[in-house]
Amino acid sequence: MVTMTDAAPFNALPTPLPDAEAEVVQLCQELIRIDTSNYGDGSGPGEAEAAEYVEARLKEVGLEPERIEFGAARREGVVVRIPGRDRTRPAFLVHVHLDVVPAQASDWSRPPFAAEIDDDGGVPMIYGRGAVDMKDMNAMTLAVIRSWARNGVQPDRDVVVMFLPDEEAGGRQGGHWIVDNRPELFHGVTEAIGEVGGFSMTVRDDLRLYLVQTAEKGIGWLKLTAAGRAGHGSMLNDDNAVTALCEAVARIGQIQFPVRVTPTVRDFLAALSDATGMKLDPDDMDATLAALGPMARLVGATLTNTAAPTMLGAGYKVNVIPGEATAHVDTRFLPGYEDELFAAIDAVLGDKVTREFAVHDIAVETTFDGPSIDLMAAALKAEDPHAVAVPYMLSGGTDAKSISRLGIRCYGFAPLLLPPTLDFGSLFHGVDERVPVDALKFGTRVLDRFLRAV
């Protein structure tokens, strides 16, 4: 575990360039206004317009990006490699995604693709789909590398930047596609940053934790199918597919998975104990969660495997018993506990229901140590004297799942200094998604310092 006394001296880091901070808000607004909604079924606008925008912004400052079609119409992304001063060193990757989840405009207080700036409790915010997931990090990254190009800045080693499509649908035509089809673009890369991490959590006025993602749960989206005997709704039927399916879904929804404290969660609790003086015992999680207060929600989702039934489908007419019924279940497994999750599901599935994967992807975990972690902590400290970097596990998934298959260490580091009262977690895929204007500028400064020194 890294503490601030171990970290590189923040006063030795490069000074941020002001022109990056000056344009990041405009870049973020322009990106949000390009609708890249990903419905997960091949429909929607795709990312081609956003990729064209990014390519143009990079060429505008003399860079030579490659725009790539990712095996399907409108699924496009952009890759650029920025040569470092020492090209014998391993390269470093920054990966972001251009797509967003859909937004129902009638649910929002502001148009979801207008990128309006308005106050939220006195804090200016950019409102829009993708503001935190993740057009903000797209804009911060774009602002930093454009600034480098204008000012003739070279990072210490090669920095590869990828603007990817399709992350919100699992990355089969995004992160996974580029790993499988264009592995040469990752040449020399040993470490990477992407979403979701680097954001602040205020403990008290003189202490803010910045959560660096070092692990994420695996994904198993299951399709369950029950087969039975079709017939008239008025007749007795002891082989009803709907009944069999619903019973299986209810049993799955009631599974109580055991608590498993992974190395990342242990490190998080140890770092939190050091920073706050609280005694947090990883072997007594009931007491620990009670002591964590609002942070318990974040930690709780990373203590067990989960299985959440989410969709049901059967029949075409009320007086016809269908011969088949289907359901979908969103399962997430901790690193090292995939077999435990699916054994528990199979034990309650029943002999009339089968399962298959709609999406299946790995869990990811790396350690919270090394020079890059030291530099993250130092760059945060340079911009926020009350910053302490700590590791955490994401309960969702990112493109790190595909990129880590190449042996690349992946971290979530999209730095934002957030207002203490902002419920940041609820903004991901949420209504009225928004990002503070000052947080964007802060993150741009942190990334500039970090990426030049890494």
Q: Which of 433, 404, 436 is nearest to 417 (CA)?
A: 436
pLDDT number for residue 7: 43
Check whether 333 has a pLDDT greater than 50. yes
Q: What does the block give as tokens for 345?
A: 């599901």
CA distance 161 to 80: 5
If you average pLDDT over residues 373-391, what whole number do you get?
Answer: 96
Residue 285: which pLDDT band, with cuts at 50, 70 and 90?
A: confident
How are strands ordered across the β-sheet holding 117-120?
A: 117-120, 123-127, 434-436
Check whether 347 has a pLDDT greater than 80. yes
pLDDT number for residue 208: 93
Check whether 291 has a pLDDT greater than 50. yes
If you average pLDDT over residues 37-65, what whole number do you get?
Answer: 96
Query: CA-CA distances (angstroms) from residue 172 to 91, 98, 179, 260, 310?
Result: 24, 14, 10, 30, 22
- CATH number for the domain whose boundaries are 218-361: 3.30.70.360
Domain ranges, ordered by start, for the chain: 10-207+365-453, 218-361
Instruction: Name residue, tokens 């403990």.
Output: 203
pLDDT number for residue 280: 83
Q: Which of 380, 395, 394, 398 is nearest to 133 (CA)?
A: 398
DSSP letter at 108 equals -
Answer yes or no: are the C-beta atoms of 285 and 303 closer than 8 Å: yes
CA distance 370 to 62: 33
Answer yes or no: are the C-beta atoms of 374 and 403 closer than 8 Å: no
Instruction: Name residue, tokens 């990312």.
Output: 47
pTM of the entire structure?
A: 0.91
Percent of the chain topping pLDDT 70:
97
Check whether 139 has a pLDDT greater than 80. yes
Lowest mean pLDDT among 25-29, 235-239, 343-347: 235-239
CA distance 147 to 357: 44
Q: What does the block give as tokens for 351?
A: 């002999």
pLDDT number for residue 42: 87
CA distance 308 to 306: 6
Residue 6: which pLDDT band, with cuts at 50, 70 and 90?
A: very low
Percent of the chain topping pLDDT 90:
82
pLDDT number for residue 9: 56
pLDDT tens digits for range 401-413: 999 999 999 999 9
* Helix or strand (DSSP H, E) at 402: helix 400-403
Check whether 308 has a pLDDT greater than 50. yes
Query: CA-CA distances (angstroms) from residue 193 to 28, 105, 162, 214, 332?
Result: 19, 32, 11, 10, 22
pLDDT number for residue 453: 94
3-state secondary structure of 172: coil
Check whether 265 has a pLDDT greater than 80. yes
pLDDT number for residue 3: 36
pLDDT number for residue 10: 56
pLDDT tens digits for range 213-233: 999 999 999 999 999 999 999
pLDDT tens digits for range 66-102: 999 998 889 999 999 999 999 999 999 999 999 999 9
Residue 292: which pLDDT band, with cuts at 50, 70 and 90?
A: confident
CA distance 235 to 245: 19
Check whether 5 has a pLDDT greater than 80. no
Q: Where are the alpha helices (DSSP H) in 129-201?
A: 135-151, 175-181
pLDDT number for residue 273: 86
b/e 326-349 (16+ beta carbons within 10 angstroms → b): bbbbbbbbbbebbeebbebbeebb
If you average pLDDT over residues 337-353, what whole number do you get?
Answer: 96
pLDDT tens digits for range 173-221: 999 999 999 999 999 999 999 999 999 999 889 999 999 999 999 999 9
* CATH class, 10-207+365-453 region: alpha beta
If you average pLDDT over residues 416-422, what whole number do you get?
Answer: 93
Q: What does the block give as tokens for 256?
A: 């109580």
If you average pLDDT over residues 334-346, what whole number do you get?
Answer: 97
Answer yes or no: are the C-beta atoms of 249 and 327 closer than 8 Å: yes
Q: Where are the alpha helices (DSSP H) in 277-399?
A: 285-292, 296-300, 338-349, 371-383
If you average pLDDT over residues 27-47, what whole number do you get?
Answer: 95
β 159-164/91-97 pair status: parallel
Phi-psi region of 315 (alpha: psi -120 to 50; beta: other; left: phi over 0): left
